[in-house]
Amino acid sequence: MKKIEHYVNGAIVEGNSGRLHDVLNPTEGKVQAQVSLATKSEVELAIAAAEKAFPAWSSTNPQRRARVLFNFKALVEKDMDNLARMLSSEHGKTLPDARGDVQRGLDVIEFACGIPHLQKGEYTEGAGPGIDLYSMRQPLGVCAGITPFNFPAMIPMWMFGVAIACGNTFVVKPSERDPSVPMRLAELMTEAGAPEGVLNVVNGDKEAVDTLLEDPRVEAISFVGSSDIAQYIYANGAANNKRVQGFGGAKNHMIVMPDADMDTVVNQVIGSAYGSAGERCMATPVIVPVGKETADKLVEMLIPRVKSLNIGPSLSEEADLGPLVTAAHKQRVADYIQMAVDEGQDLLVDGRDFVLEGYEEGYFMGGTLLDNAKPEHQSYVEEIFGPVLQIVRADNLEEAIALPSDHQYGNGVCIFTRNGSAARDFANRVQVGMVGINVPIPVPLAYHTFGGWKRSSFGDTNQHGPEGVKFWTKVKTVTQRWPDDVLSSDFTIPTMK
């Protein structure tokens, strides 16, 4: 059976802990590989490799660092099909979704190639008599990323792309559910010209995570996963004097106004709610029609579309969605559906009994549609993370704004309307970090920044864009004066002289 190890100091390193985790094929419901789970000492070796590589890499000029990323981008594009198949076979998302996963990561690599401009500081000439001020953005040192199962290509590249461009060295701890893509990305980074130790991958569980949190050589950590773990990462990392950003769960709402184009709404929500089997922090698991007529029309149009979803194996080019990642996660989603029914929601389409012919052991689930969810329902409050769409009816725009604003999560929200005034008012007042107007999944492009509010985000700096450069660097400010024989030499601090 295939065994997945670690990638340290420019080479694959065999794990010696004796602890292994099964890597499943969600389409077939079978174990396809095993991944080594690192010990504390193995993680420390990766940190040491990154620490050793840092002085030379951080002193490499930004143009040369950018050239490595340009090379990396070209190699990833060349390897796209292989990466997509690798990703689909371990995660379960379809091939088009897998290619999108890789491409959205590459978008940030493209942004990071502009680091010679992005890392420039500021300069003020003549701040005082013969005094100039300037600032420099300098790398932090050894940095780390703890990445989720649902985007095994995109999220690692969001993290290490900007961090490495800024002159840091990096250790990735990917999800043990689908570790092959991060391993391959590290190989491609070395092939692109990154020195040994600049990008390392250690596979592991809580032991590996806690080692990264506690080791004083790690200066900064970025995390994406559940909110409870994000809060744990943030609290423990900060307690160990690290810079930390932790991105957690979501319950994104789509508001549908009475004047919205309903055909567009249905087409968009089918993809955003059920694509990638709903296993996306920017999925749309809640739709809020405003007014009874809007809600009734939406239900009428959604039911046949949800029933006709094309569900297929992960390597399919045509399927709308593939299997969920594990049998345990499938059961968790099914339990939430039953919870919603028990809470009094109307089960309009039930996907729990779906079986894909020829793949009876796979972790497949059909699309589920629930109506009349209420703000007090636990299944509405919590993140389901599956192909489940809940309808929460609102009487007016005020109620619609209050639903996502009052929710514990604040990742993304969107509104569909033809009314510019209503859209502008909504975008201004809704208490959510990322807003879409007639856009169902409002993930900003790489040169802007990604991040939610409330329990969707811990820390005060977002992913990628200018905020990413800010997170992965520290500012040094220099006040300089070059006196000559004519100038007085008694200047110390600003005075009234």
Instruction: Write down the H helix ranges in 308-412.
Output: 327-342, 378-381, 397-406
Question: Domain of 63?
Answer: 2-248+456-478
20 with 82, same domain: the answer is yes
Number of CB atoms found within 10 A of residue 61's CB: 10
Angle at 224 between CA 15 and CA 35, to 5 degrees: 20
> What confidence score (pLDDT) does residue 484 get?
75
CA distance 351 to 392: 19
Number of CB atoms found within 10 A of residue 257's CB: 21
Question: H or E element: which one contains 291?
Answer: none
Residues paired with 415 in a beta bridge: 255, 437
Instruction: Write down the H helix ranges in 276-419.
Output: 292-307, 327-342, 378-381, 397-406
Is there a catalytic annotation at residue 281? Answer: yes
319 with 335, same domain: the answer is yes
> What confidence score (pLDDT) does residue 483 get?
77
User: Where do the DSSP E strands lie in 140-180?
Assistant: 142-146, 169-173
Please report, for the domain that includes residue 18, its CATH number. 3.40.605.10
User: Where do the DSSP E strands lie in 69-213?
Assistant: 123-128, 131-139, 142-146, 169-173, 199-201
**Is residue 492 situated within a structural domain?**
no
Give the mean pLDDT of the chain: 96
pLDDT for residue 30 is more than 90: yes
- As a whole-number percent, the residues of the chain with pLDDT over 90 amount to 96
Q: Which residue has the tokens 């789970």?
A: 37
333 with 390, same domain: the answer is yes
pLDDT in tens, 122-166: 999 999 888 999 999 999 999 999 999 999 999 999 999 999 999
**Is residue 444 situated within a structural domain?**
no
Classified as helix, coil or strand, 84 is helix
**Is residue 474 situated within a structural domain?**
yes
84 with 129, same domain: the answer is yes
CA distance 178 to 23: 7
Residues paired with 94 in a beta bridge: none
83 with 172, same domain: the answer is yes
Report in angstroms the alpha-carbon separations of 168 from 58, 79, 190, 361, 473.
Answer: 6, 25, 15, 44, 8
pLDDT in tens, 231-277: 999 999 999 999 999 999 999 999 999 999 999 999 999 999 999 99
**Is residue 445 situated within a structural domain?**
no
**Contacting residues for 353 by C-beta, under 8 A, at least 6 apart:** 366
> What confidence score (pLDDT) does residue 491 get?
54
- Cβ contact 307:318 at 8 Å: no
In this prediction, residue 494 has a pLDDT band, given cuts at 50, 70 and 90, of low
Q: How many domains does the chain have?
A: 2
**Is residue 443 situated within a structural domain?**
no
330 with 415, same domain: the answer is yes
State the helix-helix crossing angle for 180-191 and 80-91, rounded to 10 degrees: 160
**Is residue 268 situated within a structural domain?**
yes
The CA R_g of the chain, rounded to the nearest whole Å, is: 25
- As a whole-number percent, the residues of the chain with pLDDT over 70 amount to 97
Q: Which residue has the tokens 């077939």?
A: 28
> What confidence score (pLDDT) does residue 486 get?
47
CA distance 363 to 485: 80
* 113, 143, 166, 281: the active-site residue: 281
106 with 168, same domain: the answer is yes
In this prediction, residue 366 has a pLDDT band, given cuts at 50, 70 and 90, of very high
- Cβ contact 157:75 at 8 Å: no
**Is residue 451 situated within a structural domain?**
no
244 with 258, same domain: the answer is no
The full length of the chain comes to 497
pLDDT for residue 496 is more than 90: no
Angle at 168 between CA 163 and CA 171, to 5 degrees: 80
- Looking at per-residue pLDDT, the higher value among 190 and 488 belongs to 190
Question: H or E element: which one contains 429?
Answer: helix 420-429
In this prediction, residue 396 has a pLDDT band, given cuts at 50, 70 and 90, of very high
Q: Which residue has the tokens 């390597």?
A: 315
pLDDT in tens, 81-135: 999 999 999 999 999 999 999 999 999 999 999 999 999 999 999 998 889 999 9
Question: With the C-alpha atoms ordered 79, 182, 107, 55, is the resulting torsion angle positive or negative?
Answer: negative
160 with 114, same domain: the answer is yes
**Is residue 491 situated within a structural domain?**
no
327 with 271, same domain: the answer is yes
Taking residues 46-65, what's their average pLDDT? 98
308 with 354, same domain: the answer is yes
- Cβ contact 461:443 at 8 Å: no
CA distance 373 to 203: 39
Q: How many CA atoms lie within 13 A of 270 on its CB side?
A: 22
294 with 354, same domain: the answer is yes
Residues paired with 199 in a beta bridge: 170
**Contacting residues for 310 by C-beta, under 8 A, at least 6 apart:** 318, 319, 320, 321
